């Protein structure tokens, strides 16, 4: 049985004791079938959200009304959260905006979901409900839209990106032709999506498997060029070939290196991400394999080296475009260097007759400057000796 694959189903059983009609849905069912770890337990149920909340609370289960208006209630059991959503159907109104209404019909709820592999559900008797052939598609590694691909993308253009995210993980390497044609047909709608939604799907693609292939497929249908300014898949491939750490932001930067400002504006990156990108893009002297241990220690005492190390991967990608003994040796040398710590503090200043006030900082700075000039090697006694000799 599929439920046996869950490491712990006590929480689920408690939910099922008050909501016997509820079923696991979406990614959890797909991943149970695929035999990969399940990270979110999402349920759907025919009862309206207020009723779901009432029953759970009646059983002493903690409830967070996450999105009552969307039909979602979060149950918390032993600090595990479960999203429980009332079955929904899209009611067409003016043809542009769909109104969501509750339903009792499992097929209608499944029909709203994006891909056949995401549209299955699993009830408490461990029975699989598969309305659109998701199990077979999962087995044969086919990511297919539920219904007409073009219409489904017109309803929500984000599905074009979601298609490539899921195809990377569950596809065969040959993306569904109908889906690809539909994506190219509907490219004009991508611009209507919010930057946050696009960025969130894009980052999942960038941290996912088969990235080079996926990016190539997205470029082939024209999707990549619509979401990113002047993308350069070859530059990304060089970074991947170097064996750089799998950080999505670094990959994104490699993909669009010439346009970091546009990128920042278009994807509304966080300030922290923007600061990281500024270091990668700056033309200040970065790390180079020729640097001595003394230089590196000094640099490390002055600043956080992580962004510079990441930049070294970008440099390697540009210059070598593959594995490189010299760069690798350089980075392991860097890793082996201990983090230098200036050995004196304000207490030492006071103990050496410096009066409280700005003099303390000046005394420390003088010691620190000398210590750095010596490659951060002098110990506490040597620093004190220097300061005593140079009052
Ligand atoms: P993951 O394991 O990556 O979280 P997931 O399948 O849980 O995968 P989510 O984005 O968390 O993906 O969405 C949960 C489920 O909700 C999906 O499996 C799908 O059934 C449905 N879904 C989510 N977003 C959409 C969408 N834009 N259009 C249609 N259905 C969607
Ligand atoms: Mg999920």
Q: Are 280 and 314 in contact (CB under 8 A)?
A: yes
Q: How far is the CA of 119 from the centre of ligand 1 (A)?
A: 9
pTM (2 d.p.): 0.88
- Predicted pLDDT at 264: 66
Residue 143 to residue 114: CA distance in whole angstroms: 10
Residue with tokens 């207490």: 347
- Predicted pLDDT at 305: 87
Which atom, in ligand 1's list, is nearest to the CA of 26? Answer: 18
- Predicted pLDDT at 370: 94
Tell me the domain boundaries of the chain: 1-138, 141-227, 228-340, 346-389
Q: Are 214 and 173 in contact (CB under 8 A)?
A: no
Percent of the chain whose predicted confidence (pLDDT) is above 70? 96
Which atom, in ligand 1's list, is nearest to the CA of 159? Answer: 27
Looking at CATH, the fold of the domain delimited by 228-340 is given as: Methane Monooxygenase Hydroxylase; Chain G, domain 1 (1.20.58)
Q: Can you read off the two tokens belonging to residue 378?
A: 């002098």
Q: How far is the CA of 256 from the centre of ligand 1 (A)?
A: 28
Q: Is 44 helix (H, G, I), strand (E, B) or coil?
A: strand
- Predicted pLDDT at 121: 98
- Predicted pLDDT at 283: 80
Which of 114, 122, 200 to mutate for ligand 1's pocket (most ligand atoms within 8 Å of CB)? 114
- Predicted pLDDT at 96: 57
Q: Are 207 and 246 in contact (CB under 8 A)?
A: yes
Residue 151 to residue 112: CA distance in whole angstroms: 12
- Predicted pLDDT at 128: 98
* Across 352-362, average pLDDT: 94
Q: Convert the pLDDT of each residue in 180-203 to its tens digit.
A: 999 999 999 999 999 889 999 999
Q: What band does 338 get if pLDDT is binned at 50, 70 and 90?
A: confident
Question: H or E stretch including 72?
Answer: strand 72-77
Between 94 and 121, where is the model more confident?
A: 121
- Predicted pLDDT at 297: 84
Is residue 177 over pLDDT 90?
yes
- Predicted pLDDT at 267: 81
* Across 234-252, average pLDDT: 96
- Predicted pLDDT at 214: 98
Which atom, in ligand 1's list, is nearest to the CA of 204? Answer: 3
Q: What is the CATH number of domain 141-227?
A: 1.10.3090.10
Q: Which residues line ligand 1 (CB under 6 A)?
A: 26-27, 40, 113-114, 118-119, 156, 158-159, 162
* Fold match between domain 1-138 and domain 228-340: no
Which atom, in ligand 1's list, is nearest to the CA of 165? Answer: 3
80 Cβ contact list (under 8 Å, min separation 6):
11, 41
Confidence check on the interface: ipTM exceeds 0.90, yes or no:
yes
Looking at CATH, the fold of the domain delimited by 1-138 is given as: Beta Polymerase; domain 2 (3.30.460)
- Predicted pLDDT at 94: 57
The residue whose CA is least distant from atom 4 of ligand 1 is: 27
* Across 148-163, average pLDDT: 97
Torsion of CA 10, 13, 18, 20, to 10 degrees: 170
Residue 330 to residue 243: CA distance in whole angstroms: 15
- Predicted pLDDT at 97: 63
Is residue 303 over pLDDT 60?
yes
Which of 74, 118, 129, 200 to mutate for ligand 1's pocket (most ligand atoms within 8 Å of CB)? 118
- Predicted pLDDT at 49: 95
């Amino acid at each position: 049985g599929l439920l046996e694959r869950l490491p712990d189903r006590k929480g689920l059983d408690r939910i099922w004791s008050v909501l016997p009609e509820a079923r696991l849905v979406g990614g959890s069912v797909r991943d149970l079938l695929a035999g990969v770890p399940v990270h979110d337990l999402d349920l759907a149920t025919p009862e309206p959200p207020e009723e779901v909340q009432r029953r759970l609370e009646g059983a002493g289960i903690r409830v967070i009304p996450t999105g009552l208006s969307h039909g979602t209630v979060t149950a918390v059991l032993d600090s595990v959260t479960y999203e429980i959503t009332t079955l929904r159907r899209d009611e067409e109104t003016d043809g542009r905006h769909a109104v969501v209404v509750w339903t009792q019909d499992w097929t209608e709820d499944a029909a709203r979901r994006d891909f056949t592999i995401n549209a299955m559900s699993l009830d408490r008797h461990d029975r699989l409900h598969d309305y659109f052939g998701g199990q077979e598609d999962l087995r044969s590694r086919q990511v297919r839209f539920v219904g007409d691909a073009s219409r489904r993308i017109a309803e929500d253009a984000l599905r074009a990106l979601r298609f490539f995210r899921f195809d990377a993980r569950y596809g065969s390497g040959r993306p569904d032709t109908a889906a690809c044609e539909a994506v190219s047909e509907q490219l004009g709608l991508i611009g209507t999506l919010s930057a946050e939604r696009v960025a969130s799907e894009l980052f999942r693609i960038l941290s996912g498997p088969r990235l080079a292939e996926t990016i190539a497929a997205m470029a082939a249908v024209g999707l990549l060029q619509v979401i990113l300014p002047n993308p350069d898949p070859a530059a990304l491939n060089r970074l991947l070939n170097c064996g750089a750490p799998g950080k999505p932001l670094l990959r994104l930067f490699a993909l669009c290196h010439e346009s970091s400002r546009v990128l920042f504006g278009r994807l509304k990156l966080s300030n922290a991400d923007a600061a990281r990108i500024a270091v990668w893009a700056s033309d200040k002297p970065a790390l180079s394999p020729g640097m001595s241990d003394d230089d590196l220690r000094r640099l490390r005492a002055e600043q956080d080296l992580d962004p510079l190390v990441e930049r070294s991967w970008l440099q390697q990608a540009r210059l070598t475009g593959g594995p490189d003994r010299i760069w690798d040796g350089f980075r392991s040398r860097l890793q082996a260097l201990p983090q230098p710590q200036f050995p004196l503090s304000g207490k030492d200043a006071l103990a050496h007759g410096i009066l409280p006030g700005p003099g303390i900082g000046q005394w420390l700075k003088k010691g620190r400057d000398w210590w750095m000039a010596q490659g951060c090697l002098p110990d506490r006694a040597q620093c004190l000796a220097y300061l005593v000799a140079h009052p």
